[in-house]
Structure 1
Amino acid sequence: MNPIIEIEKLHVGYENKPDVLKEVSLTVFENDFLGIIGPNGGGKTTLLKAIMGLQAPSSGRISFFEDGRRVNHINIGYLPQINQIDKKFPISVHEVILSGLTLRGKFIKRYRAEDKQRVEPIAVKMGVEDLLHRAIGELSGGQLQRVLLGRAIIDNPRLIILDEPSSYVDKRFENNFYKLLDEINREIAIVLVSHDVGTIISQVKNIACVNQTLHYHSGSNISQEWLMGAYDSCPIEIIGHGALPHRVLLQHDHDH
């Protein structure tokens, strides 16, 4: 399977914290469904910023590919954490989904009639077609999540990145959301970041644990020993959760 992103020996940091990520290497493949887990402060968000070009690495390389050929960039859709969304902003569901399209035109950039016509089929796919004229402040967390997912896919990206998507949604609707992701994953690669290790393991194809460095596991049938090694000093316990084992982080502190 062809790669769409190759990360090689990436180092990323900030002025007050120079080694947030060290020697990180990772490949994301076409139609991949990659789960990224790791403790708070381990560098998950920094890795996303580097992939999306929002944080320059201090060393290493991120390469993008189209049909096996190296290119300067690929189209990436993004669903942010819910705490990054200003629900008081006066914007409709239709406008939010439409804003995911890249504006084209050399001088005056504006949405064309054919652009606006692309919104309704996406809204139908997300199950929010009856909400198009509603303000986003009137939506439930699950409705807002589906609207933002529509925004992330309307421009036909090669990859979508979901940052803690379970923070939006009532557990009653979570299964429906992951069914929707499975449909999307038939055409689009997905990177899903979550602290909920149990949910990630049950949904994704491959796993990466980010805790300053990166541990990659092909497949989602991972062992307690791999998790303990990947999280290093962060203790993990397997507990019963319905019919499935569920992994959770125990209370812990970080030195870095």
Structure 2
Amino acid sequence: MNKLIEIERLNVGYENKPNVLSDVSLTIFEDDFLGIIGPNGGGKTTLLKTILGLIEPQDGVIKFYNNGKVVPSLNIGYLPQINQIDKKFPISVSEVILSGLTPHKQLIRRYSSKDRQKVKDVAERMGIEELLPRAIGELSGGQLQRVLLGRAIIDNPKLIILDEPSTYVDKLFETNFYKLLGDINKEIAIMLVSHDVGTIISLVKNIACVNQGLHYHSGSDISQEWLTNAYQSCPIEILGHGSLPHRVLMEHDHLHEHEHSANTKD
């Protein structure tokens, strides 16, 4: 299978935290559904921003590929955490999805009738066609996630990156949303970041744990030993329950307020 992105010995840091990512190597393939897990502060979001070109690495190489050949950049769609979206901003659902067609660094674009038809087609696929004229401030968390996903895929990217997409939605929506991602993955590679290990494992083809370094696992048949090693100070268990498994943080020193019970996420 052809590579999309190849990361070699990446080091990234900030002035007040020089070693956020250290010696990270990773390959993302054309049909990948890659799950990214890891403890808070481990560098997951920093990795995403570096791939998107928002952060300059200190060392290392990121190569992009198209049809097996190295290219200077790659068309990547991005779905941010919805708590980063200003729902008071006066913009409609249609305009948000359209903005996914605006080239980077271009502030103004004249949209054609063909562009607006693309919006309708994407909205129909997302199941939100009736929401197109509404302001984003009127939407539920689940509806907004579908709008942002529509924005991420409208320009036919080679890869979409999703940062904690299920944080602010209910479980019924979450299940349907992940089914939609499975359908999209037939055409587009996906990189999905989540704190919910159980859900990630039930969905993805490959998985990586980012905790300053990076532990990669081909396939989703993850052992307890691999997870414990990858998380180090935050060992975890996987439980199956209902349509999607849950993750459980096992008892350890960093959860003082839960010394005698596991912390579960329903």
Same fold by TM-score, threshold 0.5 exceeded? yes
Deviations 1:60-104 (A, max 9, x none): 000000000000010000110011011111100000000000349
Q: Percent identity?
A: 74
Question: TM-score if structure 2 supplies the norm length?
Answer: 0.90
Question: How far apart are the structure 2 equivalents of 1:40 and 1:244?
Answer: 22
Q: Which residue of 2 aligns with 1:182?
A: 182
Taking the aligned partners of 2:107 and 2:162, their CA distance within structure 1 comes to 32
CA separation of 1:158 and 1:13: change in aligned 2, threshold 3 A: same
Q: Tell me the SS of whatever aligns to 1:210.
A: strand
Query: Is 1:193 aligned with 2:172?
Result: no
CA RMSD of aligned residues (A): 2.0
CA contact (8 A) 1:3 1:29 kept: yes
- Paired residues for 1:147-186 under 5 Å: 147-186=147-186
Change in Cα spacing, 1:245 to 1:223, as seen in structure 2 (3 Å) is: farther
Contact 2:175/2:244, CA 8 A, preserved across alignment? no
Instruction: Report the TM-score, using the length of structure 1 for normalisation.
Output: 0.94
Give the drift of 1:120: 0.2
Q: What SS does the corresponding residue of 1:6 show, helix, strand or coil?
A: strand
Residues 44-74 of structure 1: per-residue CA shift (max 9 Å, x gap) = 0000000000001000000000000000010
Q: 2:135 is matched with which residue?
A: 135
1:103 touches 1:110 (CA, 8 Å); kept in 2?
no
**SS of the residue 1:74 aligns to:** coil
Alpha-carbon displacement from aligned partner over 1:210-247 (angstroms, at most 9, x marks no partner): 00000000000100000001111212234453487643
Aligned match of 2:63: 63
- After superposition, the Cα gap between the structure-2 partners of 1:206 and 1:245, relative to the gap in structure 1 and judged at 3 Å, is same
Gap regions ≥5 residues in structure 1: none
Once the two structures are superposed, what CA deviation does each residue of 1:105-156 show, in whole Å capped at 9, x if it has no partner? x997422232122110000000000010000011111111001100000000
| Structural mapping, 1:64-103, within 5 Å | 64-103=64-103
Matched residues in 2 for 1:126 and 1:244: separation? 21
Within 2, Cα distance between the matches of 1:221 and 1:68? 28
The superposition leaves residues 164-204 of structure 1 with CA deviations (integer Å, 9 ceiling, x where unpaired) of 00113210122211111011000000000000000000011
Structure 2 CA distance for aligned equivalents of residues 146 and 108 of structure 1: 24
The alpha carbon displacement at 1:252 in A equals 5.4
Note closer, same or farther for the CA distance 1:252–1:185 as it changes in structure 2 (3 Å cut).
Answer: farther
Change (3 A) 1:240 1:122: closer
In structure 2, relative to structure 1, the CA distance for the partners of 1:244 and 1:166 (3 Å cut) is closer
For structure 2, list consecutive stretches of 5 or more residues without a partner in the other structure. Answer: 256-266
Name the residue aligned to 1:43.
43
Q: Structure 1 pair 103/223, CA: closer, same or farther in 2 (3 Å)?
A: closer
Q: Is the 8 A contact 1:97 1:150 kept in 2?
A: yes
Counterpart Cα distance in 2 of 1:202 and 1:129 = 29
Opposite residue 86 of structure 1, the aligned amino acid is: D
The answer to whether 1:4 aligns with 2:4 is yes
How far apart are the structure 1 equivalents of 2:237 and 2:103?
A: 47
Give the 3-state SS of the residue equivalent to 1:183 in structure 2: helix
